[in-house]
């Protein structure tokens, strides 16, 4: 399995990919998102909605 590499600082390794909770919070104090970023340079890989805080989705397929 290939190790992920940061495109910014070239740091290799899954341990350097960390997530933190977003600053945006619901009224109940729950963060809306997890922000996944490089712990070396701060490059953001992506933002993911927290699964524990599910909005009411209406799926139409």
Q: How many residues bind Zn ion (CB under 5 A)?
A: 8
Spatial CB neighbours of 42, under 8 Å, sequence gap ≥ 6: none
Q: Does 44 bind Zn ion (CB under 5 A)?
A: no
Is residue 37 part of the contact set for Zn ion (CB under 5 A)? no
6 binds Zn ion (CB under 5 A): yes
Q: State yes or no: residue 40 binds Zn ion (CB under 5 A).
A: yes
Q: Which of 8, 18, 25, 49 binds Zn ion (CB under 5 A)?
A: 8
- CA distances 43 to 4, 15, 30, 33, 34, Å, are 13, 14, 24, 16, 14
């Amino acid at each position: 399995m290939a190790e992920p590499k940061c495109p910014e600082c070239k740091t290799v390794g899954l341990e350097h990919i960390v997530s933190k909770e977003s600053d945006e919070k619901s009224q109940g104090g729950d963060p809306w998102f997890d922000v996944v970023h490089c712990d070396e340079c701060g490059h953001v890989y992506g933002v993911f909605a927290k699964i524990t805080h599910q909005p009411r989705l209406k799926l139409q397929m």
